[in-house]
Amino acid sequence: MKFSPDEIVFWEYGFINLNLTIVTTWAIMLVLTIAAGLITRNLKKDLQISSWQSLLEIIVININSQIEEIGIDNPKKYIGFIGTLFLFIATANLFVILPWYQAPTASISTTAALALCVFLAVPFFGITEKGFKDYLKSYVQPTFIMLPFNLIGEVSRTLALAVRLFGNIMSGGVIVAIMLSVAPLIFPAIMNALGLITGMVQAYIFSILATVYIAAAVKNIESIK
Amino acid sequence: MENSTLIALVSIITAGVIMIVGSIFPAISEGKAVATALSSLAQQPDAAPTITRTLFVGLAMIESTAIYCFVLAMILIFANPFWNHFIGS
């Protein structure tokens, strides 16, 4: 049984190989880029706007308000990163409705890459917002003894982000595969619908957790007290 | 008993035990979390967005322990490194 899209290889040269994960990832990137380009090509400020523009406005406004609710004052600075994460994962999980499609998020390499992006973005935003010295100081809060625990927490939460998304999406695929061999008539479709919900929730969770981590890094220590 | 039989036996039993433990306890704690969230929603419907968001994040945190167990069981059954090593040699 193949339960990772990494195992379907189209082309191989030395250690470089082109598998289904890379193909679908690039396809999703292409779809997102072309869609965003087409929609934002002629934006209007009238009362009559196109339905696509209003869809995009709903998405952007909602992401902005979600980021703001977590405690970041200027969400426009972070929506580029967090919104992209959300849109990519959500689209990747939504396309499960297409036949013969396997979500790239069902491969540990994709989710590890996304989690590494969060892992690097947290110190990046922290340093740009608070300065290098103040950011390093946040590791020895509340006392110096907590330094190793803070460092371990930084690594383990990245691992948890990657494994959570991978496990949820992969388990959906595995359950559908098992159902196909046990009760192939209706149940796989129901489980697929359930996988769709799980995928959306996981996209939300991933971006919310990324926001929480970034918010913890950019918040001033004085303002918390 | 042969080594391969032993490895298969231990892997399958361990995978079962992992799934037992890893589904019972996350289920209990998720039930507790949802029950608490529902009662606080009934008390304070105004705080619904905050409670829902925190509930989702917390559920994901709890869920991830179950997912770790699931991934481990999957590795033990479908991609067992000991088994592969033994078959390969």
- Given a cut of 80, whether residue B1 has pLDDT beyond it is no
- Within 10 Å of residue A168's Cβ, how many Cβ atoms? 26
Using a CB-CB cut-off of 8 Å, the residues of chain A touching B71 are 163, 166-167, 170
Interface with chain B: mutation pick from A69, A164, A175, A204, highest number of B CBs within 10 Å: A164
CA distance B79 to chain A (A): 10
The radius of gyration of chain A from alpha carbons, rounded to an integer in Å, stands at 20
B64/chain A closest Cα distance in angstroms: 5
List, for residues A133-143, the tens digit of each pLDDT value: 888 888 887 78
- Read off the pLDDT of residues B67-85 as tens digits, 9 standing for 90 and up: 889 888 988 888 888 888 8
User: Taking CB atoms and an 8 Å cutoff, what residues of chain A touch B49?
Assistant: 69
Give the number of other Cβ atoms within 10 Å of residue B13's Cβ. 11
CB pairs under 8 A between A and B: 43
Q: B70 CB near a chain A CB, below 8 Å?
A: yes
C-alpha to C-alpha distance for A206 and A194, rounded to whole angstroms: 18
ipTM above 0.90, yes or no: no
Under DSSP, is residue A9 helix (H, G, I), strand (E, B) or coil? Answer: strand
Q: Identify which of B42, B40, B13, B79 has the alpha carbon closest to the alpha carbon of residue A1.
A: B79
Looking at the complex, report in whole angstroms how far the Cα of residue B39 sits from the nearest Cα belonging to chain A: 22
In chain A, which residue's Cα lies nearest the Cα of B55? A205
B80 SS3 class: coil
Q: Is residue A130's pLDDT more than 80? A: yes
Q: Identify the three-state secondary structure at position B58.
A: helix
Residue numbers in B near A209 (CB within 8 A)? 57, 60
pLDDT computed for residue A14 by the predictor: 78
Cα angle B86, B88, B89; round to 5: 70
- What is the mean predicted confidence (pLDDT) over B11-15? 93
